[in-house]
Structure formats: structure tokens, C-alpha cells
Amino acid sequence: MIDFSKFEKKVNVNFKDKNLLKQAFIHRSYLNENPKVGIHHNERLEFLGDAVLELITTNYLYKNYPDKNEGDLTSYRAALVNAVTLSMVSEKLGMNDFLLLSKGESKDIGKARQDILANTFESFLGALYLDQGYEKSNDFVEEFLFPEMKEILEKGSWRDAKSVFQEKAQEHFGITPVYKVLSESGPDHDKRFTVGVFLSKELIVDGSGKSKQEAEQKAAEGALKKKGWLK
């Protein structure tokens, strides 16, 4: 039996509706094996939490970065609320220990678990918004998500490396980069892709990730460093 009060203590929140808190952690797959649980899965809460998160994040960025244009603010927001960042924060909060999953899903790691954790962050926020309102939701995001902004800015991870590398490649050589999968490894639920980025027929560098898109971004980041095109 999962004791959700431990999570409440960890994030300093006391839910009025304990079922709402539990629902935030119920994955659809769990209900297939436990149909009599009497509580719906968390997808509707995730839908709500996604919208609440976007408003809170947009408001924060608008107030704290007055000299940035719409394009930069949009990139900052995308870096803050993407699956990689949200799943990382969820792991830090120990959300893994409270997930209610099917036996099959509970064995999944890698990209599948990353997505589940990111979605759970949003569903918890949706539940918190319903139970305690906007201010408490804002406090939660401010305390646990916004500190990641410092590292995002330091690493420049808010910049879309593929777009930047394409601009630079066209500027310097008049060539559009091409990305090719060089290898795949691991079981279906935990694949790892290695992708090479080419200028004409020249392999510049390769990158690895849990999806082709992630591997392409890693390759583009590596190519920018190798060419000395980082700002």
C-alpha cells in the first residue's frame, strides 16, 4: 500500500481531497489490472496540469526576463516544460516511488518511464490546482521547477541545436546538414540510437540518445562544439 502522505510531506502540501492526490499517480495501465480501484486514471488531470504549467511558466518568464523577445521566451519555456526537464524534476521529488502502474509498465525504463514521469508531474499539478488553487500551484512550480532555469541558461540547452547548426552550416558552406542513424541497441522498451550528422558526405560527429530526435540534438550540439560555432 502506497502512503501518499510521505509525498505530501516532501513537497509541503496537504491535500483536502486525498483521492485527487492518488489519482494524479494512477497510470491508465494500472486500471486494466485493478478495475475496482474506484478512481479514474490521471490523463484528464495531466491535460489540466499542462495548461496550468504553461500559464505559470509564461508568467514567470515574462516577469523575470523583460529584455528577452517572444522567440527567446518561447524557447526558454520549451526547455523548462519538456519531458526531459519534467521527468528529471519528478525523479528528484521521488515520484517514481508513488506511481501506480501495471506490472508491465513498472518494468519499463528509459524513454517510456521518462514520459510517464513528465506526465505525472503535470497530473500532480492539475490535482494541486483543483485542490488548492493557482497560488499553491505557482509556489510548487516555483520551488521545484524554476531552479532548473539556471542550468538551462548556463548550458544553452534552451537553444535548438539542430536549427542553429543548420543556420551556421548554410552560412559557412551553403550546405544543409543530413542526419543518419548509425546504430541501434537495446531492447524495444529501452532503445538507444546513435545518429551521425553529415555535411555533404563528411561525418562531422555522432550523438546518442533514447530516441532518434534526442540523438540528433546531441549530434548537433557536438557538431557546433567541433566547428567552434557556439556563441
DSSP-derived pairing of the beta strands 192-199 and 178-185: antiparallel
- 105, 108, 122, 216: which one is catalytic? 122
Is 131 annotated as catalytic? no
Number of H helices, E strands in the chain: 12, 3
Give the 3-state secondary structure of residue 190. Answer: helix
- 8, 43, 50, 115: which one is catalytic? 50
Residue found by looking up cell 494512477 in the block: 26
Instruction: Spell out a b/e string for 127-158, using b for 16 or more CB atoms within 10 Å of the CB, else e.
Output: bbbbbbeeeebbbbbeebbbebbeebeeeebb
Is 67 annotated as catalytic? no
Task: Name residue 198's beta-bridge partners.
Answer: 178, 203
What's the order of all strands across the beta sheet hosting 178-185? 178-185, 192-199, 202-209
Instruction: Spell out a b/e string for 178-203, using b for 16 or more CB atoms within 10 Å of the CB, else e.
Output: ebeeeeeeeeeeebbbbbbbbbeeee
Among 30, 26, 4, residue whose Cα is nearest residue 17:
4
Give the 3-state secondary structure of residue 36. Answer: coil
Q: Which residues are catalytic?
A: 50, 122
